[in-house]
Amino acid sequence: MTAVIMNGKEVAMNIRKVLAEEIAATGVSPLLAIVQVGDNPASQIYVRNKHKAAAEIGMKCRICYVPETDDEENLRNLLLDLNDNDDVNGIIVQLPLPQNFDELKILSWIKYIKDVDGFSPTNAGLLQMNSPEAVVAATPQGVLALLKHYLSDLRGKHAVIIGRSNIVGRPLADLLLNQDCTVTVTHSKTVNLPDICRQADILIAACGCPKMVKADWVKKGACVVDVGINRVDGHLVGDVDFDEVKEVASYISPVPGGVGPMTVAMLLKNTWNAYKKQHPLV
């Protein structure tokens, strides 16, 4: 058995095409503000890619650089200004933040209807309560869109998630629970992780451990989604040993070309939805 490759690049391109058409048809130009604190080189690449992706679908992007040496008060004032600025439709703070900044506190300063990353405590809470008002974090939303594209029904499936971070594992658990999956969340202290993974109909790896998930961790015919992005010897690899696991799974997402492009597409979708909420007649 060789698994069907879950082509996130292609699915994401189609989503971006639809967004571009919708935006062009309305003749408006939504504005996404990206706040980058410090000069982490990986963050700079991610910010550049988001800027480019936004421009390609007719969205404007404003990048606000904040020096690492700045204090939280200045960052708070910037976020409050962006909250109050009617021209700005979506706001994201590129993570990770330098150590001297309190991530949770800072994310809570973004007005929840402009929080297009969905990381604010308000949006996390709305998602947990299965509210349609929740802005869902882009990566978990991208994983769900990929699953829905390839699987006919998620109801009752046992989903095992490796990782419990606030930006991937936890919101993904809420999202899949809201889809009537039975969800198990695992982490670095989980005992007998391979045994638990073998029970999964849907196995999602989001732990940042290169090629950790091996073929003998996977139930025959399972669907395996790899969120991990790890740089090893100059190459990008996921948390799943792709070459081994594709011989056991029925579906598998590659790295690169799987969840990564879906994440960017979902950020753009969240920004467009935020614009429409702020301008209900569009």
Whether residue 256 is preceded by a cis peptide bond, meaning omega within 30 degrees of 0, is yes
128 is catalytic: no
Catalytic residue among 36, 114, 115, 117: 117
Is 260 a binding residue for ligand NDP by CB under 6 A? The answer is yes
Q: Which residues pair with 183 in a beta bridge?
A: 159
The residue assigned the tokens 């990206």 is 34
User: Does the annotation count 220 as an active-site position?
Assistant: no
127 binds ligand NDP (CB under 6 A): no
Q: How far is the CB of 72 from ligand NDP (least distance, A)?
A: 21
38's tokens = 């410090």
Q: Which stretch binds ligand NDP (CB under 6 A): 27-35, 57-65, 115-123, 156-164?
A: 156-164
With CB under 6 A as the contact rule, the residue among 118, 163, 171, 254 that binds ligand NDP is 163
Residue bearing tokens 């095409």? 17
Number of residues forming the site for ligand NDP (CB under 6 A): 25
Q: Which of 34, 91, 137, 162 binds ligand NDP (CB under 6 A)?
A: 162
**Site of tokens 């690169």:** 256
What track of x and - describes contact with ligand NDP for positions 177 through 216 (by CB under 6 A)? ---------xxxxx--x------------xxxx-------
| DSSP for residue 96 | S
CB 110 within 8 A of CB 120: yes
d(CA 134, CA 113): 9
Q: How far is CA 264 from CA 101, 116, 141, 142, in A?
A: 25, 11, 10, 8
Task: Decide if 275 contacts 28 (C-beta within 8 A).
Answer: yes
Tell whether residue 124 is a contact of ligand NDP (CB under 6 A).
no
Residue 50 among the catalytic residues: yes
Residue 165 sits in the site that holds ligand NDP (CB under 6 A)? yes
Residues 222-241 that bind ligand NDP (CB under 6 A): 227-230
- Structure-block tokens of residue 191: 């005992």
- Which residues form the interface with ligand NDP (CB under 6 A)? 139, 162-165, 167-169, 186-190, 193, 206-209, 227-230, 259-260, 263
Question: What amino acid positions are annotated as catalytic residues?
Answer: 50, 94, 117
